[in-house]
Amino acid sequence: MQPITPFLWFDTQAEEAAQFYTSIFKNSKILNVSRYTEAGKEIHGKEPGSAMVVEFELNGQKFQAINGGPHFTFTPAISFLVTCEDQEEVDHYWDKLTAGGAPEAQQCGWLADKYGLSWQIVPKQLFDFMSDPDRTKAGRAMEAMMHMKKLDIAALQKAHDGE
């Protein structure tokens, strides 16, 4: 059991979102779905049999999602960082997670998916560029990144190298 599990609040889309996310990430699956019953219906207002809490795993990381109603929504103040090995992986996650999302929320590798959840799709090379002891190189990589939506490793490398 992992000691901390992200718990996501949805209005009615928890099961749909879990299916969406598990279709994108490798080594992912829905682990359990608990469903609302008649008990407490006067309080929760959900149809008996509809998903209440969905437990799922994305590449080994456990998550839980609840259909808690429209009381709360996601904010970009919380996001999930996906560290990618190469451009192919960046492209994969970017293309899949932006499908139906908010295009205006895309900047510097940051996106909002169709459920309003924020993700950062970042190539591991960016961390090396940004932490380069040569602050001029790091600054050039930072400047290039600031003008990107989806991060482009080749363009970041060129900027870092001063090309």
Q: Domain holding 91: CATH number?
A: 3.10.180.10
Cβ neighbours for 63, distance < 8 A, ≥ 6 positions apart: 5, 6, 7, 8, 18, 21, 55, 56, 57
- Averaged pLDDT for residues 100-121: 92
Residue 46 DSSP symbol = P
pLDDT (0 to 100) of residue 77: 93
Would you say residue 16 lies in a domain? Answer: yes
The CATH number given to whatever domain includes residue 33 is: 3.30.720.100
Q: What is the pLDDT of residue 147?
A: 96
On whether both 99 and 150 belong to a single domain, the answer is yes
Note the pLDDT of residue 1.
72
| Residues in a beta bridge with 119 | 80, 111
Check if the beta carbon of residue 116 is closer than 8 Å to that of residue 73: yes
The average pLDDT across 76-104 equals 94
Q: pLDDT tens for residues 8-65?
A: 999 999 999 999 999 999 999 999 999 999 898 888 888 999 999 999 999 999 999 9
Position 104 scores a pLDDT of 81
- Mapping DSSP to helix (H, G, I), strand (E, B) and coil, where does residue 115 land? coil
Residue 24 forms part of a structural domain: yes
Please tell me the total count of domains within the chain: 2
Is 72 among the domain residues? no
56 within some domain: yes
Residue ending a domain, among 44, 67, 90, is 67
pTM of the complete model: 0.92
Please, what is the average pLDDT of the chain? 95
> For position 155, what pLDDT does the model report?
98
Q: What is the pLDDT of residue 67?
A: 96
23 and 61 belong to one structural domain: yes
User: d(Cα 113, Cα 100) in Å, to the nearest integer?
Assistant: 7
At 145 the pLDDT is: 97
Residue 2 lies in a domain: no
If asked whether residues 87 and 143 sit together in one domain, one would say yes
Question: Is the same domain home to 63 and 85?
Answer: no
Residue range of the domain that includes 105 = 79-161
Same domain, 83 and 151: yes
Judge if 38 and 83 occupy the same domain: no
**Are 151 and 93 in a shared domain?**
yes
